[in-house]
A and B are shown apart, each in its own frame.
Chain A
Amino acid sequence: QVQLQESGPGLVKPSETLSLTCAVSGHSISSGYYWGWIRQPPGKGLEWIGHIHHSGSTYNNPSLKSRVTISVDTSKNQFSLKVSSVTAADTAVYYCARRGLVGIYYFDYWGQGTLVTVSS
């Protein structure tokens, strides 16, 4: 059974960098799937942030431009998200999720989510 678990600080100051990690268990992160991040501001809808392949290929939401960095650590079977220069608008529940193999464009396994609040 594939399981994903997000971890990281729940509170980040404005202008600083938000950093989260997603630990994957029950499945090798090098299996060919893509691994992504999706966020949900309180009471609002879902926004795709980006995803990464174990080869290191990344795809990010253009609306977040260069603020987003996604990386993968195959030795630890985990992947990470960094969002720089955060503002209150980045306050959200952040989910990590598995996207399908090449040609499959949906997310079939999700972490439970972690709330990150941007506040001084």
Chain B
Amino acid sequence: EIVLTQSPGTLSLSPGERATLSCRASQSVTSSYLAWYQQKPGQAPRLLIYGASSRATDIPDRFSGGGSGTDFTLTISRLEPEDFAVYYCQQYGSSPPMYTFGQGTKLEIK
């Protein structure tokens, strides 16, 4: 089973700053199987990025994803007040077939 480790656990930044979130896998992950989600308190997760770097529908272009193999990143170029939330990476692995999530990175206002 592939384990995803996200860092940092908490990231404190100000609006307008750039945020870089990391997701490291215990084994190589197929890029097309890597996704990122945003979750605000009391809400369901929202798909941001799929295939490691493709933005989901209606996601602003300040969100971008990158990486390959075992190291993936989510970058928010200029933070808006509504971007402060918890972010999760997720992967699909075929041996055994299952989906795993990282433990999350909380992006908080500094």
Task: Point out residues on A near B: beta carbons under 8 Å.
Answer: 45-48, 59, 61-62, 95, 97, 104-108, 110-113
B47 in contact with A106 (CB, 8 Å): yes
Q: Which of B46, B91, B104 contacts A45 (CB 8 A)?
A: B104
Interfacial chain B residues near A61, Cβ < 8 Å? 98
Q: Give the distance in Å from the alpha carbon of A111 to the alpha carbon of B44 in the complex.
A: 7
Q: Which of B37, B99, B103 contacts A48 (CB 8 A)?
A: B99
Task: Point out residues on B near A: beta carbons under 8 Å.
Answer: 32-33, 35, 37, 43-47, 50, 56, 88, 90-92, 96-104
B44 in contact with A48 (CB, 8 Å): no
Interfacial chain B residues near A112, Cβ < 8 Å? 43-44
Q: Give the distance in Å from the alpha carbon of A112 to the alpha carbon of B44 in the complex.
A: 5
Task: For the complex formed, measure the closest distance between the CB of A12 and the CB atoms of chain B, giving whole angstroms.
Answer: 21
Q: Give the distance in Å from the alpha carbon of A106 to the alpha carbon of B30 in the complex.
A: 13
Q: A45-B101, A45-B102, A48-B101 are in contact. Are A106 and B44 (CB under 8 A)?
A: no
Q: Which of A104, A105, A110 contacts B45 (CB 8 A)?
A: A110
